[in-house]
Amino acid sequence: MNRTNNIGFLIQHLAFILSRQNDQVLQERLGIGFSQFKILMVLQWHPHVQQKKIANALSQTEASISRQIKLLHDKGLLQTSTSPGNKREHITTLTTKGMRYTEEAMSILNSYHKPMFEQLNEKQMEILGEALVTMHDFACTPGQTECRQFIGNNQ
């Protein structure tokens, strides 16, 4: 069977491989995991957001996000405060150290994956980017506005 006959499998498998590689390189160089990095990215794009919206944006459980936020908080990368309008809501923001880590992590990942992306020419990169945005937007369920808001509009 031709590998291109199962594009869904290829996308899923590539995502798994890249996620594992991202986790390993970030753990080795910064002491944070890829899941933690994704939270930092959401907070960089949208400061002062509720943990529930982070969970929705990343398609993870609130409990999972809460655990990761605690780890990031313990490392001094995040700060959490109570919402002035609702004492039961927690608002999480990046610290200055968290902002530096986020930028450094992005730089590390870009450098790490550069040889892979150099296999594509400029036109292929443009087509790939457009196709991924289209597929991402389609995959976000209609009621999951955070999915599009936090990820789709911030390339």
Q: Band of the pLDDT at 155, cuts 50, 70, 90?
A: very low
Q: Most distant CA pair in the chain: distance in Å?
A: 58
In the prediction, which pLDDT does 146 show?
59
Domains of the chain: 21-116 (1.10.10.10)
Three-state secondary structure string covering the chain? CCHHHHHHHHHHHHHHHHHHHHHHHHHHHHCCCHHHHHHHHHHHHCCCEEHHHHHHHCCCCHHHHHHHHHHHHHCCCEEEEECCCCCCCEEEEECHHHHHHHHHHHHHHHHHHHHHHCCCCHHHHHHHHHHHHHHHHHHCCCCCHHHHHHHHCCC
| Residue pLDDT, tens place only, 113-131 | 999 999 999 999 999 999 9
Q: Output the pTM of the full model.
A: 0.82
Which of the pair, 68 or 87, is modelled with greater confidence?
Answer: 68
Q: Identity (one letter) of the amino acid at 97?
A: K
Which of the pair, 84 or 133, is modelled with greater confidence?
Answer: 133
| Residue pLDDT, tens place only, 94-109 | 999 999 999 999 999 9
What are the phi and psi torsion angles at 55 (to 5°)? -60, -45
Beta bridge partners of 79: 93
In the prediction, which pLDDT does 87 show?
79
Q: Band of the pLDDT at 70, cuts 50, 70, 90?
A: very high
Which of the pair, 101 or 139, is modelled with greater confidence?
Answer: 101
Q: Band of the pLDDT at 135, cuts 50, 70, 90?
A: confident
